[in-house]
Amino acid sequence: MKDQDTLINTLINSEELLNGFTHEEIGDDHLSTGLETPMKPNAFAMSDEEKKESIAKLFAQIMDVMGLDLNDDSLRGTPKRVAKMYIEEIFSGLNPENKPKVALFDNKYQYNQMLVEKDITFYSNCEHHFVPIIGKAHVAYISSGKVIGLSKLNRIVQYYAKRPQVQERLTNQIAIELQTILDTQDIAVIIDAKHLCVSSRGVKDNTSATVTSYYGGVFKSSQKITELQNYINS
């Protein structure tokens, strides 16, 4: 525990350069180390119950440092509520055990055009400030012989959204997961989201939104992109 505390203090206070810039100079800019969510090798050494107990204690310390009275009836249960919310809800996508179980079915209808599931509402959290990202995902695929239940498309979006994220990584994770499951490159994912790290703090721009996209296989053609956008906008 002492070694861990030393490492955390070093990281918090570090002025180490990242791509030639300090943490302060980078500010709110999006940084992403790769497709995979950055995780420690021993990320699951603790059980969920142990994690909740530890988070509750640590969050109580945060509240105490801010001067909040933890003896107040309204605040007394907050550390445990936050811990439960983190592990069981908004960051549950970090645990691979929560990954949706997906069953595929033969494409008996011989439907060979694009299938679009649009306006999938999701809530994620920015990994830079741990504040919400609220948006909609549009997912499309063309069957290579197998199809997936429509609700599973939603569940895959939710699974990858329920972790600290950057929108670019979230878009790619959903697309590559679907390519793997459906055994096809013909996948498209478009995400349109509002970041509260932009609207509620920092620049405080409440009108802007961020759009990211992934086009694979036949969806790289301008014709298919236009067709997809017509479906989404209809």
- Residues with catalytic function: 126-129, 167, 195, 197
Q: Check: CB of residue 127 under 8 Å from CB of residue 167.
A: no
Q: Of 205, 173, 179, whose CA–CA distance to 191 is shortest? A: 173
Q: Of 169, 43, 181, 167, whose CA–CA distance to 99 is shortest? A: 181
The rounded distance, in Å, linking the Cα atoms of 56 and 162 is: 19
Residues in contact with 182: Cβ distance below 8 Å, sequence separation at least 6, in sequence order? 104, 141, 143, 144, 146, 148
At residue 126, what are phi and psi to the nearest 5 degrees? -65, 130
